[in-house]
Amino acid sequence: MTTVSLDDYRAVAPKGTVEFLRCLAQRARGRTFLHVNSTRHGGGVAEILHRLLPIMTELGVDARWEVIKGDAAFYGVTKAFHNALQGQDQAITKEMLDVYAATNTANARDLSLEGDLVLIHDPQPAPLIEHRPGKGKWVWRCHIDLSNPQREAWRLLRKYVARYDAAVFSLPRFAKRLYIPQFLVYPSIDPLSEKNRDLCEGELNGTLERLGIPRDKPILLQVSRFDRFKDPIGVIDAYRLVKRHKDCRLILAGGGADDDPEGAAVLAEVREAAGTDPDIHILELPFSAHLEINALQRAATIVLQKSLREGFGLTVAEALWKGKPVVGGAAGGITVQVIYDVTGYTVNSVEGAAFRIRYLLNNPDLIAKMGEAGREYVRQEFLITRHLADYLTMLIVLTK
């Protein structure tokens, strides 16, 4: 990742943002801000931390990032836990909980957990709270959809979360009944990252050629992990309904993540559902394929994010930033990013997705108009500069 400075955001952030951030940061200067999560690569949290930390450092905040380590058994447990917290039926046994707690205990011994503000991201490292040092505020940052968790899974997690000084959620509906303060912070995208920066025609065409994607017909694209909550099979079904009326291609591009052991099984199901259709492209991309995802999003005519459950779904903001309308499932943060009839459409079924895709393909002027609205919306609400301001404010308010 190339190094950028805050000044580089002048061209993309709303007017006056950079000056504002410098002034805000004066009040947080010298304080330590530690982030802890479970993966250095893959997923929106890791991506944004890679960029957020250097900028915080540039602004005089002592920002650090620790990553917990675990074996396959640990990631198997946390994946099951993750699914249960998002409402899927999962058996959580005592043995699994023991692995969860023991791995965190081992990490607590190895990691430096000192900080004026310690932000623990997601459930995987949540038990670290049992090992907090004497000083500093500890805040649990939840990136997943907790609106309808399996009751037992939430009961188990709650015993850790309740011990934090505060919790942060991405949407109001994810907040839980807790006696600690709960804050709302939307996640964000980095417009200067490899995944979101502007591409020249040469880069775009070269990348698509390498991926074997022709641009001879409209492209429908879904970028997401191969995960049942993202409903890739539903996307294929919707594409087939559209294809009866309008010739198009479908690309399902999935990135892996260190902490997602279930992806291979879902990928196999997707391949089977796609069959031998030459217009369905299933791309299994490594976590580092940022340029490829960027090119695919820019080449797409319409971007889909037909999730059944979603934390925030930042691929939506990525697509909007590139001027693409999004047809997304009415789940999690997609409903905040997709403003119906303005930046795209939220849908509740395969048929609903197919109808809106057809509608947009038949109205190219609307595609352009929505794309423009989407980019401006993201500029104000979902860029890393706004996220940075929120975190600095938390640091100032909670550690004063």
Q: Which residues bind other proteins (CB under 8 A)?
A: 14-17, 19-20, 23-24, 27, 169, 172-173, 175-178, 181-185, 335-336, 339, 342-343, 373, 377, 380-381, 389-390, 393-394, 396-397
Q: How far is the CB of 299 from other proteins (least distance, A)?
A: 26
Q: Indicate the DSSP class of residue 311.
A: S
**What's the rounded Cα separation, in Å, for the pair 2 and 133?**
34
Q: Which is nearer to other proteins, 73 or 398 (CB)?
A: 398
Report the relative pairing of strands 166-169 and 182-184 from DSSP bridges: parallel
**What's the rounded Cα separation, in Å, for the pair 284 and 75?**
21
Q: How far is the CB of 44 from other proteins (least distance, A)?
A: 20
Asked whether 350 and 234 are in contact (CB, 8 A), the reply is: yes
Q: How far is the CB of 43 from other proteins (least distance, A)?
A: 24
Q: Which is nearer to other proteins, 46 or 168 (CB)?
A: 168
Q: How far is the CB of 349 from other proteins (least distance, A)?
A: 14
Which phi and psi angles does 323 have, rounded to 5°?
75, 30
Q: Which is nearer to other proteins, 139 or 219 (CB)?
A: 139
Q: Is 167 helix (H, G, I), strand (E, B) or coil?
A: strand
Q: Which is nearer to other proteins, 291 or 396 (CB)?
A: 396
Q: Mind giving me the DSSP string for 72-105?
A: HHHHHHHHHHHHHHTT------HHHHHHHHHHHH
E strand spans, 57-194:
62-67, 117-121, 137-142, 166-169, 182-184
Q: How far is the CB of 381 from other proteins (least distance, A)?
A: 5
- Identity of the amino acid at 262: E
Q: Which is nearer to other proteins, 181 or 286 (CB)?
A: 181
Q: How far is the CB of 378 from other proteins (least distance, A)?
A: 10
Q: Which is nearer to other proteins, 81 or 169 (CB)?
A: 169
